[in-house]
Amino acid sequence: MNELDVLKQLELKTERARLRLLDVIYNSKTGHTGGDLSSLNILATLYFNILNVNPKNKEKKDRDRFILSKGHSIEALYSILEACGFISSEQLNTYGSFNTLLTGHPSHKVPGIEISGGSLGHGLSIGVGMAIGGKLYKLKFRTFVLMGDGELGEGSIYEAAMAASHYKLDHLVAIVDRNGLQISNSTEKVMGLEPLKDRWESLGWDVKESNGDNTSELLKTLKSIDYENHKPTLIIAKTTKGYGVSFMENQLSWHHGVPTEAQYIQAKKEISEKIQKLENTITQ
Amino acid sequence: MSQFHIPCRQSFTDTILELAKKDKEIIIVTSDAAGTVTLNKFAKELPSQIIDVGIAEQNAIGVAAGIASVGKKVFVCGPACFYTSRSLEQIKVDIAYSGINVKIIGVNAGVSYGAFGATHHCLHDIATLRTFPGIQIISPSDAIQAKKITEILPDHKNPVYVRMGRNSVPKIYSENNISFEIGKANTLIEGTDITIIGTGETVYHCLQAANLLKKEGISARVIDMHTLKPSDEQAVLKAARETGKIVTVEEHSVYGGLGAIVSEIVVQNYPVPTRILGIPDENVINAKPSEIFAYYKIDAQGIYQEVLDFLQNISNSEK
């Protein structure tokens, strides 16, 4: 496959996962739709093209680690774990049902999930620990932590950020899903984060900005990470909350809104059209 | 028995240093608290096995969980008061909920810090941590027991919180006369009239009180409840059946700690009169630890008086 086809395949898989996560939310009548949709592209790009993880060898000592610190975007992660073969379709269909394995935030009991979470501001510390663990064992694995931008209000993150640069954890990558909205308002109205890049650079991080909605650009950014510069990397992935469904984009109400039947049909139609278009353009 | 020994934390650090020299999988995580924990020698001799995250207890727990998840045997060590309140949620989520095998060594617990004040007192930790599924809680009563516990912990496959005091404590056990099993309380004195159950540094005072009671012709059983979770239900029920009255003694709030544990067991299975001695619902008086023990009647003399009063009350109510 040429580079363009690789990209198209990646986009196609992402859109199929997008359709799936909406299915899951619609059927279970629960979920954090807006943040799922802004995180999906990041998760898909990581799992389909970057992370060295394998459902057939989940305990491999030198596997890359991924932590969904913004644990509420779990439906997006589940749809990707299904696509990668960590969980089955039957398992994913149990989401929201009585005594399901699949909780509404990450649980380490789900194959492919490293550690339980859901309370904001925990993931980066654990990522620091994993990266230190990797160094102690002289293993070359990388640790990726996905945080929400609203999550950056949690003070514990800055404890972790300082430790990461202090210990020169260049195999640690934090990604911020910078969709600009949190549950009650825009991040800048609730608790301003800007100048975000400058702040993290001053903490000793190598900061990159990327268009998180654009697979090609995000992939390029992820591939440009320097793992030998003695600095942790932060990627500010500029995204759109509710991305991929026109009427959900940039709408606060979709933070944990669940679509009605009519909205679900409309959303499915939009995504299916995109999928159709992608299938038509793929050469093979 | 009255000879003073070394603090439990010192016993822990001396032991873990020797173990870590042989077992490179042992890693200490601390938060600018190496001196507080008495880990300076460890830091000097095994610098590659200690990670200091600075004054950041929340981060310390998360980092410890992360390192442990990769496979190391991690001990996160620092003042109990901060680790069990500021980073309580990290213990709940990153360790207990995630089932990550980290050992939390909380030093200077209870009123060890004396007149430092309420910020430094740790009188809530048993009550809070015992509600987190999966965490075990141990409170050694002397340095010998602390050593024994430390020897078990590196290969023990369960998250554990160990609660230790700051100061030197008298010997209760001896090197060649110590049995320790997690979840199995030690009966130190057999008795038939009443049972006194202590944990941590109060155990010594329970023993002393039992000696005073003996002079009054009262036969008091003394139990060292070193493991608060899982607690030894059998030892408690046996005491309830055989002595009919129980007094608990703890360097902890009277809410939710040893007294509550024992009461929950007794009241649901074999109700007997029970009195809980500990710190009442107030900010602790400013004083030295020994003065605080005396003020709240959790020292030998106080326990002795409380037991007499308790027995008198029972006797009056039976008339």
Confidence tier at A6 by pLDDT (50, 70, 90): confident
Say which residue the tokens 């601390």 belong to. B30
What is the rounded average pLDDT of the residues B174-190?
A: 94
Confidence tier at A284 by pLDDT (50, 70, 90): low
Confidence tier at A4 by pLDDT (50, 70, 90): confident
Per-residue model confidence (pLDDT) at position B4? 58
What is the rounded average pLDDT of the residues A239-250?
A: 97
pLDDT in tens, A44-64: 999 999 999 999 999 999 999
Per-residue model confidence (pLDDT) at position A188? 97
Per-residue model confidence (pLDDT) at position A120? 98
Can you name the residues that pair with B28 across neighbouring β-strands?
B50, B75
Per-residue model confidence (pLDDT) at position B269? 98
Confidence tier at B1 by pLDDT (50, 70, 90): very low
Number of domains in chain A: 1
Find the CB nearest B63 among A117, A139, A163. A163
Domains with residue ranges and CATH for chain B? 4-170 (3.40.50.970), 186-318 (3.40.50.920)
Query: Which residues span the domain enclosing A249?
Result: 3-283
Is B187's pLDDT higher than 50? yes
Domain holding A266: CATH number?
3.40.50.970
Chain B residues close to A115, C-beta within 8 Å = 65-66, 69, 94, 98, 100
- Select the residue from A125, A151, A168 to test the B interface by mutation, using most B Cβ atoms within 10 A: A125
Q: B236: part of which helix (H) or strand (E)?
A: helix B233-243
Q: Which residue of A has its CA nearest to B63?
A: A129
Exposed / middle / buried, residue A91 (Cβ in 10 Å: 0-12, 13-18, 19+): middle
Interface ipTM above 0.90 = yes
Question: At CB < 8 A and 24+ separation, what contacts does B16-19 make?
Answer: B16/B42, B16/B75, B16/B150, B17/B41, B17/B42, B17/B45, B17/B46, B19/B150, B19/B151, B19/B154
Q: Which of residues 69-108 of A touch B (CB under 8 A)?
A: 108
Confidence tier at B2 by pLDDT (50, 70, 90): very low
**Rounded mean pLDDT of chain B?**
96
What is the rounded average pLDDT of the residues A181-195?
A: 96
Q: Which amino acid is at B197?
A: I
Per-residue model confidence (pLDDT) at position A273? 97
Say which residue the tokens 């002079």 belong to. B215
Taking the C-alpha atoms of residue B106 and residue B87, their distance in angstroms, rounded to an integer, is 12
Taking the C-alpha atoms of residue A38 and residue A72, their distance in angstroms, rounded to an integer, is 12
Say yes or no: B54 contacts chain A, CB-CB below 8 A: yes
Taking the C-alpha atoms of residue A117 and residue A243, their distance in angstroms, rounded to an integer, is 24
Is A283's pLDDT higher than 70? no
Pairwise CB contact (< 8 Å): A137 & B53 = no
Per-residue model confidence (pLDDT) at position A282? 83
**Rounded mean pLDDT of chain A?**
96
- Looking at chain B, the number of H-run helices and the number of E-run strands are 13, 14
How is residue A175 written in tokens?
């990604």
Flag whether the pTM goes above 0.90.
yes
Chain A residues close to B65, C-beta within 8 Å = 115, 125-126, 129
Q: Which residue of A has its CA nearest to B96?
A: A116
Count other C-beta atoms under 10 Å from residue A103's C-beta.
15
Per-residue model confidence (pLDDT) at position B172? 94
